C-alpha cells in the first residue's frame, strides 16, 4: 500500500555531492521534507529518495556551499499520468474494470448458508429466491428485515434467521426450530404393554393393575400393567398405568457379506476440461466433453474470481477432471471381516437392548459359495414395558 501511495505521488532518487552533503538532510528535516533510503555512496556523496513535489525545495540548495544535487531517476506521479495519456485503450480498460467491479459488488453473486442441519441449503436458497433475493439481485434495494419476516412466516422449521447482504454475498445464519416433545396426558387411561417377547423377571407397579406375574412368558403386545382397576367393593375405574417390567429376552441377529468384492483400480486415461462460468452460463474453453466410459470418477472444482470477504464476481473457472477406472474382483480377508461383523452385531444388539444388560452372547460363522454369515445369539435382561394409551399412542 505504501508503495502504491508513493508511486501515485511520484518519487525521485537524488544524489547530493559536496563537502558536507549531510546539510541537505538537516535542511529536509528542518523543513518537513520527507526522505528515505538514504545511502552514503562515498565520503562526499549520498543518495536519497524524496517525493517529486519536494524536488524544487531540495533543488534550491543546489550550488549553495558547493553542494551539487542531481536527479538520478523519477517514478510515478506526473510521469505515470503523462505516459498513460497516450494509452487510451489501457485507460479505457482500467476504467471499465473499475466501474464493473464497483457495479458488480452491488449484486448478489454468492449465497453462504450456515447453522442448518435438517433443512437443506437448497431449500433456504429457494426461500430467499421467493423473497426476491436471487442470483444477480441488486442488494441495496432489498430489505433484509422483510426477507427475514417472510421466510420465517413461510417456514415453520426455522426458528430464527439473519440475512446479511454485503459485498455480493448473501450470508444467511439459520437457527432451526427444536421440535416439542409429545406430551401425553396422564389424565386419560393407558396400559403398559410388552414391546418385546420374553420371560418377566421383575414388576414394579406405580399405578394400575398387574396383568402378569414374575416368571410368566409374554409376547410382544401383551398387556403387562392394565389401566383398568377392578374392585370387589367398587366399580371399575380407568387410570393411567405406570410402572416398570423387566424381562429376560433373546435375540438372534445375522450379518452377511459376499466372499469377493469389487474394487476400483485407476487406469492411465484421464481428461481435464476447463470451462468459464459467467453468471449461470457455462462456456467450454478446453478439453473433450465426451465421457471416457461409464466407469470414471469426475472431480469438479469451481473457482469464482474475487477477493475473499471483500467481493466476488459472477465469473469463475470450472475444472473437471475425469479419471477412468476399472473394477477388479478380490477375495475378502475373512478373519478381519468376521471380527468387524462381530463388532457391528454387538453394537446393533446394544442399540436394541437400549440400556439393558447382555447376559450371554454367542457368535457362529457359516459360509456357502458366495456369502459369509455371522450370527449373534444372545440373552439379555431389559425393560420391556411401554405405555399404550387407549387411543393407540405408544411411548
Partner 1 sequence: MKDKGELLAYKLDIPAEALTGVTKFTVTGRRQVFIENHKGIINYDENTVTISCEGYRLNIRGDDLRLDGMNRNDMLLTGRILSVEFE
Q: Which of residues 112-151 bind partner 1 (CB under 8 A)?
A: none
25/106 with CB nearer partner 1: 25
Q: Which residues are paired to 221 by β-bridges?
A: none
The answer to whether 59 touches 28, Cβ cutoff 8 Å, is no
Selected binder of partner 1 within 12, 46, 119, 245 (CB under 8 A): 46
Does the footprint of partner 1 cover residue 32 (CB under 8 A)?
A: yes
**For partner 1, which is the closer residue by CB, 43 or 236?**
43
Beta bridge partners of 68: 17
Whose grid coordinates read 394400575? Answer: 208
Residues 6+ apart with CB under 8 A from 167: 105, 309, 310, 311, 312
252 binds partner 1 (CB under 8 A): no
Give yes or no for residue 181 binding partner 1 (CB under 8 A): no
C-alpha 149: how far from chain center = 25
At closest approach, how far in Å is the CB of 26 from partner 1? 4
Q: At what angle do helices 121-130 and 144-154 cross, to 10 degrees?
A: 120
Q: Looking at 29, 94, 278, 350, which residue binds partner 1 (CB under 8 A)?
A: 29
Which residue of 36, 138, 160, 305 would you call a contact of partner 1, by CB under 8 A? 36
User: Is 50 a residue that touches partner 1 (CB under 8 A)?
Assistant: no
Nearer to partner 1, 15 or 201 (CB): 15
2 binds partner 1 (CB under 8 A): no
Q: What angle do CA 208, 209, 212 make, to 5 degrees?
A: 130
Considering the rule CB under 8 A, would residue 30 count as an interface residue with partner 1?
A: yes
For position 19 contacting partner 1 by CB under 8 A, the verdict is: no
Q: Counting Cβ atoms within 10 Å, is residue 374 exposed (0-12), middle (13-18) or buried (19+)? A: buried
CB of 35 to partner 1, least distance (A): 8
DSSP 8-state assignment for residue 370: S
Work out whether 25 is an interface residue with partner 1 (CB under 8 A).
Answer: yes
Chain Cα centroid distance, residue 11: 48
Nearer to partner 1, 43 or 182 (CB): 43
Stretch that binds partner 1, among 29-37, 82-90, 110-118, 164-172 (CB under 8 A): 29-37
What's the length of the chain? Answer: 395
Closest to partner 1 by CB, 47 or 111: 47
Closest to partner 1 by CB, 30 vs 114, is: 30
Q: Could you say whether residue 40 binds partner 1 (CB under 8 A)?
A: yes
36/160 with CB nearer partner 1: 36
309 binds partner 1 (CB under 8 A): no
Separation of alpha carbons 9 and 7, rounded Å: 5
Q: Is 43 in the site for partner 1 (CB under 8 A)?
A: yes
Contact 21, 46 (CB under 8 A): yes
List all residues 6 or more positions away from 155 whose beta carbon is below 8 Å from its beta carbon: 119, 123, 127
- Separation between Cα atoms, residue 195 and residue 370, nearest integer Å: 36
In 3D space, the residue among 322, 284, 316, 281 whose CA is nearest the CA of residue 300 turns out to be: 322
Contacting positions for partner 1 (CB under 8 A):
20-23, 25-26, 28-30, 32, 35-36, 38-40, 43, 46
Amino acid at each position: 500500500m505504501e508503495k502504491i501511495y508513493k508511486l501515485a505521488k511520484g518519487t525521485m532518487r537524488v544524489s547530493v555531492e559536496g563537502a558536507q552533503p549531510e546539510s541537505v538532510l538537516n535542511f529536509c528535516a528542518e523543513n518537513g521534507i520527507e526522505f528515505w533510503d538514504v545511502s552514503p555512496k562515498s565520503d562526499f556523496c549520498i543518495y536519497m529518495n524524496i517525493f517529486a513535489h519536494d524536488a524544487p525545495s531540495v533543488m534550491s540548495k543546489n550550488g549553495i556551499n558547493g553542494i551539487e544535487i542531481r536527479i538520478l531517476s523519477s517514478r510515478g506521479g506526473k510521469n505515470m499520468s503523462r505516459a498513460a495519456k497516450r494509452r487510451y485503450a489501457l485507460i479505457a480498460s482500467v476504467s471499465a474494470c473499475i466501474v464493473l467491479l464497483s457495479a458488480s459488488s452491488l449484486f448478489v453473486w454468492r449465497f453462504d448458508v450456515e447453522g442448518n442441519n435438517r433443512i437443506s441449503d437448497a431449500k433456504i436458497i429457494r426461500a430467499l429466491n421467493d423473497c426476491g433475493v436471487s442470483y444477480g439481485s441488486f442488494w441495496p434495494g432489498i430489505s433484509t428485515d422483510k426477507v427475514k419476516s417472510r421466510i420465517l412466516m413461510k417456514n415453520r422449521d426455522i426458528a430464527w434467521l439473519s440475512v446479511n447482504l454485503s459485498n455480493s454475498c448473501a450470508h444467511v445464519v439459520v437457527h432451526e426450530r427444536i421440535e416439542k416433545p409429545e406430551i401425553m396426558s396422564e389424565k386419560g387411561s393407558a396400559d403398559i404393554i410388552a414391546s418385546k417377547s420374553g420371560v418377566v423377571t421383575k414388576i414394579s407397579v406405580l399405578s394400575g393393575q398387574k396383568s402378569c406375574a414374575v416368571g410368566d412368558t409374554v409376547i410382544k403386545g401383551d398387556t403387562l400393567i392394565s389401566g383398568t382397576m377392578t374392585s370387589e367393593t367398587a366399580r371399575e375405574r380407568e387410570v393411567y398405568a405406570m410402572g416398570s417390567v423387566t424381562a429376560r429376552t433373546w435375540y438372534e441377529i445375522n450379518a452377511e457379506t459376499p466372499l469377493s468384492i469389487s474394487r476400483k483400480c485407476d487406469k492411465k486415461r484421464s481428461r481435464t476440461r476447463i470451462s468459464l462460468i459467467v453468471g449461470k452460463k457455462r462456456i467450454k474453453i478446453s478439453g473433450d466433453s465426451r465421457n471416457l466410459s461409464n466407469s470414471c470418477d469426475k472431480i469438479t472444482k469451481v473457482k469464482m474470481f474475487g477477493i475473499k470477504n471483500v467481493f466476488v464476481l459472477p465469473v469463475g473457472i470450472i475444472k473437471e477432471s475425469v479419471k477412468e477406472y476399472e473394477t477388479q474382483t478380490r477375495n475378502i480377508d475373512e478373519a478381519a471381516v468376521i471380527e468387524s461383523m462381530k463388532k457391528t452385531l454387538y453394537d446393533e444388539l446394544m442399540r436394541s437392548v437400549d440400556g439393558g444388560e447382555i447376559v450371554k452372547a454367542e457368535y457362529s460363522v457359516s459360509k456357502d459359495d458366495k456369502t459369509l454369515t455371522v450370527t449373534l445369539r444372545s440373552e439379555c435382561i431389559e425393560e420391556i414395558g411401554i405405555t399404550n394409551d387407549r387411543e393407540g399412542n405408544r411411548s
